[in-house]
Structure 1
Amino acid sequence: MAWDEWEQLKTEAAKGRSTHMRLNQLAADPGGGSGDSRQGDLTVHQRDLAAIGSAAYDLYTNFGACSDYARLASMKAAGGLETQGFALGSALDHVAEHWIDQVQSLLDACAHISNHLRYTQRQHASDEHYIAGTISSISQLDHGFDERKGS
């Protein structure tokens, strides 16, 4: 930027010509933010939770067993390569050691998902039972008030 240009910008700024900012945004959504007329964003069906929890449990069970075969085969191959003087053997052994940590992380995540979804199913069932009992009590009270008013 040349000196003359700088002086001109300072003069324009002093005259009150300032730059304005305009933020573009969507109109506020009344409700849950889903963009449609239904109330709420989240719908949970017990069979969906059960399917996800079951898949996580199956992955936990099957991957736990299969990953051990892969680790043992890799360690055996690493040992064979090392005894034959290949540097690749120690690298493969290093990978097999880190494989154990990665498998454990995945297994922990699957167990967490499965356990959390099982807890969520029980909690939703408990909430449904509580809500049904509360609504039933309210309708009984309404019926008593209606009888008292003579309706």
Structure 2
Amino acid sequence: MAWEEWERLKTEAAGADRTGVRVNSAPPASGGGGPSDLVVRSDELGKLGDLARDLRQRLSTAGDYARPATYDAAVELIGDDMELGSALLEEHDAWNTKLTTLKEACAHISNHLDHSRGIHAEDEKKIATEMRNADGEKMTVSRIYDYIK
């Protein structure tokens, strides 16, 4: 590559409208005010937790529907000296493992969201009851509202 070409490519790259690394900031979305717009409400976390719990329950029922019959068929095929039986048994075991993993993931999500809601509620209560002014005196709720208006 010639020196002139290198200089031209550097100039083009420097003038291009590209997104680079941004630390602690993001471009505001249309109508938004930037990174401080992230808000998660407790009721939204509760709904997500309920969805995860419901999905786990449905997986437990529907995902396990054919397992007993598949296992029985695999055992019969193995008993008849058919290679298909051991392959079917492998598929049965793989499905059971993956189904269990997915159900555990749903339970983990649900439990984590419930835990997050509880911790957030405790933090909010602590902030509201232990907030103090510059003199170290406890602030009343009406005094706190004066600060956020």
What's 1:130 paired with? 126
1:50–1:117: 8 Å Cα contact kept in structure 2? yes
- Quickly say closer, same or farther: Cα 1:120–1:85, change in 2 above 3 A: same
Q: What RMSD in Å do the two structures reach over aligned CA positions?
A: 3.3
What's 2:69 paired with? 73
Pairing of 1:1-151 with structure 2 (within 5 A): 13=3, 17=4, 19-20=6-7, 21=10, 22-23=13-14, 24=16, 25-26=18-19, 32-33=25-26, 35=28, 36-37=32-33, 40-133=36-129, 134=131, 137-138=138-139
Task: Please say which structure displays the higher CA radius of gyration.
Answer: 1
Count of equivalent residues: 129
Q: Scaled by the length of structure 2, what TM-score is found?
A: 0.67
3-state SS of the aligned residue for 1:69? coil
Unaligned runs of 5+ in 2: 145-149
Give the percent of matched residue pairs that are identical in Structure 1 and Structure 2. 29
User: Post-superposition, which runs of at least 4 consecutive aligned residues in structure 1 deviate over 6 A?
Assistant: 27-31
Unaligned runs of 5+ in 1: 1-8, 144-151
Give 1:33's aligned amino acid.
A
Q: Scaled by the length of structure 1, what TM-score is found?
A: 0.66
Give 2:76's aligned amino acid.
G
